Structure 1
Amino acid sequence: MQAVPRAIDFHVHLPTTEFIQVTLGPYAKAAERFFRTEVKLKDIEQLAADYVAVDMIGVLLAWDAETATGLPPLGNDYVAAIVRRYPQQFIGFASVDPHKGRAAVKEVERAIRDLGLAGVKFHPGVQAFYPNDRAFYPLMEKIQELGVPALFHTGTNGLGAGVPGGMGIKLDYTRPIYLDALAADFPGLTIIGAHPSWPWHDEMIAILQHKANVYNDLSGWSPKYIPQSLLREAATRLQDRILFGSDYPFITPQRWLRDFEALDSFTPEVREKILWRNAQKLLAHTAVAHMHFG
């Protein structure tokens, strides 16, 4: 059996011109101010080298919020091509714009069956939709049928932060409580709430305790700033449902792990679950999981 990686980073955005300057466009600068960082553009070779250097598998996220923003998507083919080029380093998650209706349903099937992507990423705030809106249930049914996880941004938003009107983004779309109804209506769908869900982290905790098909990734926040109530649950009752994610390039995996290692409430066994074992379980159907875990 091959050695396991140090971690699986479940939340990686591409630091490329195609994503930062084209797809995010005007939202990127607000995000940099929010995270107090300057994103340094990199090409795919540099990104792959970075993840080799830290001994991690990265979950790369496509992006399509075209209807709500008017900006071009970072396409599923683009992400799939990177995964094909670096199959031992990256796993790809598709993105579809829910407002595209039947076209979105067809595209998600193509992305999973034909392109080999391993899950689907949504950003309800930027895409301007409620996850439990029954108008989008045909799309959720298809994802459940395909047997892959769906990842949803939850909590406050760095995109548009600090700008009058928040660049039109409405935070209510990203309350985790809307994932509760979705989890109840689709018990065969694995749902991942991305980020610590602040200021609604207690909602996320309640959903995790009640719905066994819901997980939470802790990306987008340094562990030292994650609400203590969520950290306590992650170290104890919810240790099997929590995933490491960085939110690269806005937060680097090195910074996240350094701050995580400084916390004294996590046993080595729980750290292992959060850093890779829980993600391994969710991604067991992917080729890269078989490469690394046999």
Structure 2
Amino acid sequence: MVGLPQDPAALYRQIRASLRDRESREDFVMPASYMFHDVPASHADGEADPVAVVLGELDRHGVDVALISLSANTEAARRALTDHPERFVGSWTCDPNRGMDGIRELVRVHEQWGVRAVSLFPHGVSPQVAIDAPQMYPIYAKCVELGLPVFVTVGVAGPRVPSMVQHVERVDQVMYDFPELVFVMRHGAEPWTDLAVKLMLKWPNLYYSTSAFSPRYYPANIIEYANTRGADRVLYGGYFPMGLSLDRIMTELPGVPLKAEVWPKFLRENAARVLGLTDAS
């Protein structure tokens, strides 16, 4: 998970409209600034090419392939996919409130750009839509049909908005109704990580991404699961440039107590399999 640098005001416009407390609306650079240190006032340099900036960071830290959103920065993201298809794969964010218009748009984007994943933010749309709500089901069905995994924000939301739409227990019903759906829990699942582990033991197509977490704060029970029965289910996810620099992430990663045989799966193989990339070695 990598973002292309852009103006935070544009990136967070939709979720900011739902915020009610003064600090979030007026002081925070990003909606969850209280959770991160040294969030830059802007991660966009008007003089710099955002694609070149990200490629430079990927090269500097030995990252081969990045998953980027076509929804967040359309022009730059499309240029990244066109000019560097070996380095970038695309995802598309769906708003379940758009109904069939959103489904048709997903199909068009998939056909034109070959997106390999769909992102869903239950807390970040207006009105909010729960993980197991009826509005989500057409998206899940289309993802099964297209062979696309869904990356869904679960757990207490970072921004100061209600979080029950993302309770991990809601995933259980979705996996029952869509056993072919590849579902990746994103952004922590806290404080319900024990339940997240229990559900991954139960459902073979359920995964966990460490996105939006500094490695020093990866939940201990997730790491324990990865080191035991979950080596094939936990995959690395970043948060550059929204809240974490790659410098910080890569500096802290060696301190994560994963077994030697788990690291290749965590850093590469699991994501390659989930995203349908040909090279999973």
Fold-level similarity (TM above 0.5): yes
Q: Tell me the SS of whatever aligns to 1:94.
A: strand
Partner residue, 2:252: 259
Stretches of structure 1 lacking an aligned partner (at least 5 in a row): 1-10, 64-73, 160-165
Residue of structure 2 in register with 1:41 after alignment? 44
Structure 2: segments with no counterpart, 5+ residues: 17-23
CA distance in 2, matches of 1:23, 1:224: 27
Q: How far did 1:76 drift?
A: 5.8
Contact 2:199 2:206 survives alignment (8 Å): yes
- For 2:36, the aligned partner's letter is F
Task: Answer whether contact 2:227 2:262 (CA < 8 A) is retained.
Answer: yes
CA contact (8 A) 1:125 1:170 kept: yes
- Cα shift at 1:157: 2.6
CA distance in 1, matches of 2:258, 2:166: 28
Quickly say closer, same or farther: Cα 1:32–1:117, change in 2 above 3 A. Answer: same
- Post-superposition Cα deviations, 1:37-64, rounded to whole Å, max 9, x if no partner, equal 223325222112211222211111245x
1:75, CA displacement in angstroms?
Answer: 6.3
Identity %: 22
CA contact (8 A) 1:98 1:139 kept: yes
Partner of 2:231: 239
| TM alignment of 1:51-62, pairs within 5 A | 51-56=58-63, 57-62=65-70
Q: Which residue of structure 1 lines up, in the alignment, with residue 19 of structure 2?
A: none
Cα 1:116/1:81, change in 2 over 3 Å? farther
Higher relative contact order (CA 8 A, sep 6+): 1
SS at match of 1:140: helix
Is the CA contact 1:156–1:171 (under 8 Å) kept in the aligned structure 2? Answer: yes
Alpha-carbon offset, residue 170 of structure 1? 1.3
Structure 2 partner of 1:13: 3
Q: Secondary structure at the match of 2:131?
A: coil
CA distance in 1: counterparts of 2:102 and 2:114, whole angstroms: 17
Q: Is the 8 A contact 2:6 2:73 kept in 1?
A: no
2: CA distance between counterparts of 1:261 and 1:251?
16
1:110 aligns with 108
Q: What residue is the counterpart of 1:67 in the other structure?
A: none
Give the distance between the partners of 2:156 and 2:5, measured in 1 at CA: 21
Deviates more, 1:32-41 or 1:236-245: 32-41
Deviation, structure 1 residue 34: 2.1
Change in CA separation of 1:236 and 1:260 when aligned onto 2, cut-off 3 Å: farther
Relative to the length of structure 1, the TM-score reads 0.81
**In the aligned structure 2, how far is the partner of 1:225 from the partner of 1:158?**
15
Secondary structure of the residue aligned to 1:192 is: strand
More divergent stretch after superposition (91-100 vs 224-233): 224-233
The answer to whether the 8 A contact 2:156-2:164 is kept is no
**How far off its partner does 1:254 sit?**
3.4
Aligned partners of 1:60 and 1:79 also within 8 Å: yes
Aligned AA (1:24): Y
1:76·1:111 contact (CA, 8 Å) conserved in 2? no
Paired amino acid for 1:36: H
TM-score (norm 2): 0.84
More helix by share: 1
Deviation readout 1:68-116 (Å, 9 max, x if unpaired)? xxxxxx3667633321122122111011211000101101111112221
Residues in 2 aligned to 1:293 and 1:180: alpha-carbon distance in whole angstroms:
28
**CA spacing shift, 1:58–1:116, aligned 2, 3 Å:** same
Q: Which residue of 2 aligns with 1:131?
A: 131
Structure 1 Cα separation of the partners of residues 167 and 88 of structure 2: 29
- Retained in 1: the 8 A contact 2:12–2:31? no
Aligned counterparts of 1:268 and 1:195: Cα–Cα separation in 2:
24
Deviation at 1:185, TM superposition (A): 0.7
Residue 152 of structure 1 aligns to a residue whose secondary structure is strand
The verdict on how the C-alpha distance between 1:204 and 1:134 changes in structure 2, with shifts beyond 3 A counting, is: same
What SS does structure 2 have at the residue aligned with 1:124? Answer: coil
Aligned positions, number:
258
Equivalent of 1:95 in 93, 102, 108: 93
